[in-house]
Amino acid sequence: MDKKALMDKVEWIFVNQMPYNQFLGISVAVLNAERAEIVLPWKDEFIGNPTQKILHGGVISAVLDNVGGMLAAASIIDKLPDSELHTVPSKLATLGTIDIRTDFIRPGRGDSFVASAQLIRSGNKVCVCRMELHNDEGVQIAFGTATYLVG
Amino acid sequence: MDKKALMDKVEWIFVNQMPYNQFLGISVAVLNAERAEIVLPWKDEFIGNPTQKILHGGVISAVLDNVGGMLAAASIIDKLPDSELHTVPSKLATLGTIDIRTDFIRPGRGDSFVASAQLIRSGNKVCVCRMELHNDEGVQIAFGTATYLVG
Amino acid sequence: MDKKALMDKVEWIFVNQMPYNQFLGISVAVLNAERAEIVLPWKDEFIGNPTQKILHGGVISAVLDNVGGMLAAASIIDKLPDSELHTVPSKLATLGTIDIRTDFIRPGRGDSFVASAQLIRSGNKVCVCRMELHNDEGVQIAFGTATYLVG
Amino acid sequence: MDKKALMDKVEWIFVNQMPYNQFLGISVAVLNAERAEIVLPWKDEFIGNPTQKILHGGVISAVLDNVGGMLAAASIIDKLPDSELHTVPSKLATLGTIDIRTDFIRPGRGDSFVASAQLIRSGNKVCVCRMELHNDEGVQIAFGTATYLVG
């Protein structure tokens, strides 16, 4: 598989092969070595408040973690020479989140949401991503910072 | 309502009035001003990995955020003089997570999980909690630190 | 004092009235309600490595915390109506950092450094800032996220 | 050198070979594979407040980062078989803090302070430590969580 096909596979795994992500119902809008974007349509099961229709913080952390992890995977693929692309599956198998910080800025209100990630540190062993969550009106709801093991 | 009844109500709200928590299927094992404990039974929808039966990081962050938030609510109730207990509902309505950090220590494998929280800073405006997640064999899976607005 | 004079006073306090900041030798390049920038000239006492001339992580965290705190102070002043500006000193006296996360991106090498902050959440009780540290060649060295008590 | 001698060397490097740590004036009370403790005597240069004799947050973050980093170094040494101890210097040369979160619990008042660290994740590439800062009366001043690159 070439790099494009491997990135498509990463996208497919995140969307279709992880039961929790299937519960979330995410889709991928952008995935390349510089940027990842995930779309999360509203579901009533996401409500985390007894009286208001707003996202539970755990849903927000989950989608931020997903978009950062997807970008970390894309960066692994992007940095490998073609001759080593066969190592991608074993590298992805060990990809994992070490830690994540989520800053909740505003109540998670909206009909759908976009989570985006950019890489701020890209090493051989560790990647760090900054993530943002906006609703469909462009209002920013959360920030995140996560460190991924990629080695 | 006295303090005990108010804490029971907090527990009932977290377990029965928040749709996302109903999806999680959590129950409360301990809730007092010093400590909160939540039980999370396994569900296949929690899986966050294409090949292994382990919890998605977002489920881990969600249950840590819940147990810390519940303890923050209990601490609000505990600190109020009886004459001001009528203000609890309005105080709980503004209770919110400002930020949370989750450290993923080991894969989230288990038949059920216990999330526990202790208060490390308890102010009039802001509480900070440290949380832990263990599986049913006592293996620690994650740590968390969260700051809550309680004023 | 008007708002401009109060902001000048904040700047003066951070630079001249805090012994640790005098050790750092910081100066303020920008301070308004939207943005703060601090300049940190190199000193050999900042070295945090046995063999390389790079900043200790604690110096980086300190200057990020300073620039975020200064912006939090400016935002307090900015939001007050003129009739309440006399409350600024008591509000500044209780201003404090609740938590800070620093992400170290690259080794802290340079002749001088610029720390900048922007406000990502600005409430009556709590502010959240994102901070960056660049060296004099524009290379980014660190990111930070901090929560301040401002109420 | 055997493991004991290597750990002594780590201690000596942190205390004597890093100019910023010499400014801090730290000494090491405990260093083994399970625990590290650093003592920080008061200095007026540490003051981070215009009116109160309390530690600047940057000093707190610095000493927490030091004690966690020292423990990460000790854990590298501890896990190596004797036959690979010659690789310790190159491994220590790449040891670095990836990220740190500091939670400020109480004002940093005291005649001296003890920073302690314990390992919560100990991998081949990454270590995570939890740290605490207490003053000489046993009052807890801060918590920290840091991720170190050790691979």
- Summarised one tens digit per residue, pLDDT across range A110-133 is 999 999 999 999 988 999 999 999
Q: What is the mean pLDDT of residues D95-105?
A: 96
Closest approach of chain A CAs to the CA of B77, in angstroms?
Answer: 18
The answer to whether C120 touches C129, Cβ cutoff 8 Å, is yes
Low-confidence ranges of chain B (pLDDT < 50): none
d(CA A84, CA A78): 11
- The domain limits of chain C are 3-149
The mean pLDDT value of chain C amounts to: 95
C11 to chain D: which residues are within 8 Å by CB? none
Closest Cβ–Cβ partner in D101, D121, D140 for B101: D101
Closest approach of chain A CAs to the CA of C121, in angstroms?
Answer: 6
The kind and range of the H/E element at B127 are strand B126-135
Report the residue count for chain D.
Answer: 151
C68-88 pLDDT, tens digit each: 999 999 999 999 999 999 999
For C23, name the nearest residue in chain D, comparing CA atoms only: D45
Residue B120 gets which letter from DSSP? E
Residue D103 gets which letter from DSSP? E
The answer to whether B41 touches B29, Cβ cutoff 8 Å, is no
* Alpha helices, DSSP H, located in chain D: 3-16, 19-24, 57-79, 88-94
Q: At what angle do helices C57-79 and D57-79 cross, to 10 degrees?
A: 150
Residue B147 CB: number of other CB atoms within 10 A?
26
**Residue contact C149–B126, C-beta within 8 A:** yes
Q: What chains are in contact with C, requiring at least 3 Cβ pairs below 8 Å? A: A, B, D
C121 to chain B: which residues are within 8 Å by CB? 98
Looking at residue C151, what is its pLDDT? Answer: 80
Tell which phi-psi region holds residue B144, choosing left (phi > 0), alpha (psi between -120 and 50) or beta.
beta
**Residue B67 DSSP SS3:** helix
CATH no. for D3-149: 3.10.129.10
Question: CB-based contacts of D151: which residues, under 8 Å, 6+ apart?
Answer: A125, A151, D94, D124, D125, D126
Looking at residue B113, what is its pLDDT? Answer: 98
**Residue contact A58–B61, C-beta within 8 A:** yes
D47 to chain C: which residues are within 8 Å by CB? 18-20
Looking at residue B76, what is its pLDDT? Answer: 94
Q: What chains are in contact with B, requiring at least 3 Cβ pairs below 8 Å? A: A, C, D
Looking at residue B124, what is its pLDDT? Answer: 87
Classify burial at D95, counting beta carbons within 10 Å of its beta carbon; exposed 0-12, middle 13-18, buried 19 or more: middle
Q: What global pTM score does this model have?
A: 0.94
Question: CB-based contacts of B134: which residues, under 8 Å, 6+ apart?
Answer: B113, B114, B116, B140, B141
d(CA B146, CA B69): 9
Inter-chain contacts counted by CB atoms under 8 A, chains B and D: 32
